[in-house]
Structure 1
Amino acid sequence: MSAHLSPVAKAATAVAMATGATAEAFASPLELSIARVAHEVNKAYCESIGDMTQTNWEDAPQWQRDSAVKGVQLHLRDPNLGVSASHDAWMREKLDTGWTYGPLKDPVKKEHPCIVPYADLPAEQKAKDFIFRGVVHAIAREQAR
């Protein structure tokens, strides 16, 4: 868990990530496991609402796996964050890496229809943030037992 890393390990991870290393490469085994499960649960939920664009973890692009890892780390670092925090952090990351709002998700153009304030998301998109946070906390609680 990133919350249990020493200050030196946290600093080393921050430097490595700032130099272009992937978030996945510096995730703890627990963070990586939770990210993988959260990704697969999100894929299943997307399929249930007719979105068949999600791939399984092994085939997901690196940016998508890193996004899941960062979301897990966010909620493990501060378990009291609300569901909108996932979206806010995700959107900030997207904007920082050149993505913009677009009517359809297009990784080539770096456009996404969910680059809007959390309050403006449709209910089925907000549900993804509730599910993600729930998966992170459920697995973390189970590991702590």
Structure 2
Amino acid sequence: MNIELIAKICHNVNKAYCESQNDFSQSSWEEAPEWQKSSAISGVQYHLENEVTPEMSHENWLKQKLDEGWVYGKEKNPELKTHPCIMRYDELPKYQRTKDALFKSVVDSFK
């Protein structure tokens, strides 16, 4: 199974969903920074190795971000390591929770 290809598909589905919500901030996979690609690949591996709910997916992502020194910030800023999703899953806006559900659905389609 090509984990990087699955991560790329997840990234592109997320980008398409964001654009459907008038959020055009997501870059293409080819232009995405390495930290973002690594995060997607790690998420795919976690999903393939475990039975995961969208909440568990977010908690895994959150733990990874906190371990890397990221903190909550109103704007995502890789240089400052701030991200608006550094919070518990149940505190996330529906828009963000939907992205976790989409990620799970894409990975599950390859199981």
Q: TM-score, normalised by structure 2?
A: 0.95
**Residue from 60, 65, 85 that aligns with 2:56:** 85
Q: Which residue of 2 aligns with 1:115?
A: 86
Q: Which residue of 2 aligns with 1:69?
A: 41
Unaligned runs of 5+ in 2: none
Deviation at 1:43? 0.7
Count of aligned positions: 111
Bigger share in helix: 1
Q: Distance in 1 between matches of 2:105 and 2:18?
A: 16
Q: Which residue of 2 aligns with 1:137?
A: 108
1:33-44 alignment, distance < 5 Å: 33-44=5-16
User: 1:74 corresponds to which letter in structure 2?
Assistant: Y
Q: Deviations over 1:62-109 (max 9, x none)?
A: 00000100110001001x211111111111111111110001111121
Note the aligned Cα RMSD (angstroms). Answer: 1.0
Q: Distance in 1 between matches of 2:73 and 2:45?
A: 27
Q: Which residue of 2 aligns with 1:4?
A: none
Report runs of 4+ in structure 1 exceeding 2 Å deviation.
none
- The structure showing larger relative contact order (alpha-carbon pairs under 8 Å, at least 6 residues apart) is 2
Q: Which residue of 2 aligns with 1:128?
A: 99
Percent identity for Structure 1 against Structure 2: 48
